[in-house]
A and B are shown apart, each in its own frame.
Chain A
């Protein structure tokens, strides 16, 4: 895959179900579309010097234990199936943050325990960090390093700064893909920013009262 048109097609045909990431990886192996346009609503691919913002919801993405909280394994579990949705920090505006958060909360306003879902904070993900993560595949003769994650500019009609992080699946097993997503979550713990410290957008209307 080397043309803009092919990548648009790969993503347009990827669907919305849990095989979305696998279809994209099959159509564009080895993150081949990362530097291409993949959405008709966003021409500019995600650049290596960008930062992506992942909204962290309480209680969906956090586990409370020992008096504190930590990101749980659900946080980036969608990276191997649907793609982990993020917002491109450099090109988004307040309205897009608002639309994104309110759309998510409107779609699923309560958690499984019946409490209201709220915003707990954000994870600021450096794209350079995403793209330098690798995994090894060994055979009898050699060991090859492969890029583990890709970041795509999957802008939508009302959210042009929308982006997704996806596992570069290759032929990896479910358990290997889970390990990658879990390790990614762990590596992002230090990139968590509390609602009060995030200055790009006022998150206070969405926090737990």
Chain B
């Protein structure tokens, strides 16, 4: 599926806007709401309402962000045995969560890379200045998260990622207001 990323900087908008573009996971329509600067990482979950106002995944101008998204979409097709005969096939739910997560951090000016874990989970790694983060999406809204700041290492297994809002601890440690 072709990437549909708009280059406008949505953070500059002072009111919430809805512009058609990004379809996470390349499947059915989903919606991201990109708020104003007070709500930089918030977006509603897809309630399946059929709302035609499709929301863009904003391009932060980061080439690595777009590359990571493209990588995720390639990796999600991997079948069992992609790395040795035991490696698990890509987990569709995990990759869907990873794409939604990308939508939540797309305004953070991070260097982003994507990968796959031996268990078939999508992995997103972020780097900005001295922040280094690693997120493995375990499916069902669970994330194994690592965020390292200078002299401050943190990791935890998080639950309940709704695909629309960054977990508060993640947003705070990444320097994003959630």
Q: Interface of A with B (CB < 8 Å)?
A: 16-18, 20, 57, 60-61, 63, 65, 72-74, 77-78, 81-83, 85, 103-104, 107-108, 112-113, 173-179, 182
Contacts and interface: CB of A to CB of B under 8 A. Distances in A.
Contacts, number: 93
B83 A63 contact: no
B146 to A, nearest CB: 5
A82 B145 contact: no
12 contacts: A63-B115, A72-B113, A72-B115, A73-B125, A78-B86, A78-B118, A103-B85, A108-B83, A112-B75, A174-B136, A175-B136, A182-B146
Interface of B: 71, 74-75, 77-78, 81-88, 113, 115-120, 123, 125, 134, 136, 138, 144-146, 153, 155-157
Nearest to B74: A112
A60 B82 contact: yes
A54 B146 CA distance: 25
B144 A107 contact: no
Nearest to B118: A78
A161 to B, nearest CB: 16
Q: Which of B78, B82, B113 has the most CB of A within 10 A?
A: B82
Contacts of A176: 155
A83 B155 CA distance: 22
Contacts of B84: 78, 82, 85, 104, 107
B113 to A, nearest CB: 6
B118 to A, nearest CB: 4
A141 to B, nearest CB: 23
B134 A73 contact: yes
